[in-house]
Amino acid sequence: MPVAVIAALLAAGTLAWWRLGNKHPPTPSPGATADPRVAYEKGTVLVRQGKFVESLQLLRSAAEGAPDLAQLHHDYATAILNAVHQGRRHLGRQEFAVRSSVERVAMVREALRELAEGERIAGKDVRQVAWDKRTTAQAMGVWGFPWEALVGYRQAEWTDPSWTEIAGRADHIMDEMQHPENVRER
């Protein structure tokens, strides 16, 4: 058998093996439910199971179906941020469920837009506004923007000074930036 035919068969077999092993878990269709509450409940069940990518269409549907509820925008954004880091096993290796780094960056941008929208909708609900600012700050820190994280955490603290869980987080970020030698590996 000529070498070219063997190479072509080997390439075709490898491609078929890769494509068949590259199946993504089924995602719910966006029109699975017209009721935003049902979509939200189904989406949050998937989130609690760690199936962030699978939850996105349902949570997007909930946020679009009830656009005036800030919490839905926050929860959708949080699911997006978690989906960016969701892993999966493929061909014996652990990798990102969303493989394209360009797509992951686009997802982070969408999450930040959703957080800003949730913050806008929250209006005078200081806890919700602070929650959105804190989540934005956390995303900035994870993605390597410590100054933006510092500002976001400080804004969250100032927005809701009664929220003791975030008190001092900005100071912690500042300390890490001033003394990087003291930062422990996570």
51 inside domain: yes
Q: Are residues 39 and 105 in the same domain?
A: yes
Q: Are residues 128 and 101 in the same domain?
A: no
Q: What pTM was estimated for this model as a whole?
A: 0.76
Q: Are residues 148 and 70 in the same domain?
A: no
CATH of the domain at 90: 1.25.40.10
pLDDT of 112 higher than 80: yes
Number of domains forming the structure of the chain: 2
Question: Which of residues 105, 122, 139 is at a domain's end?
Answer: 122
136 inside domain: yes
Q: Are residues 33 and 118 in the same domain?
A: yes
What whole-number percentage of the chain has pLDDT above 70?
Answer: 81
Alpha carbons 51 and 54: distance in angstroms, whole number = 5
20 inside domain: no
Domain membership of residue 185 as a residue range:
124-186
Q: Are residues 148 and 159 in the same domain?
A: yes
Give per-residue pLDDT as tens, 115-163: 999 999 999 999 999 999 999 999 999 989 999 999 999 999 999 999 9
pLDDT of 18 higher than 80: no
Q: What is the pLDDT of residue 96?
A: 80
Q: Are residues 117 and 134 in the same domain?
A: no
Residues 135/77, Cβ–Cβ less than 8 Å = yes
79 inside domain: yes
Q: What is the pLDDT of residue 30?
A: 47
Q: What is the pLDDT of residue 43?
A: 96
Determine the average pLDDT of the residues in 90-97.
84
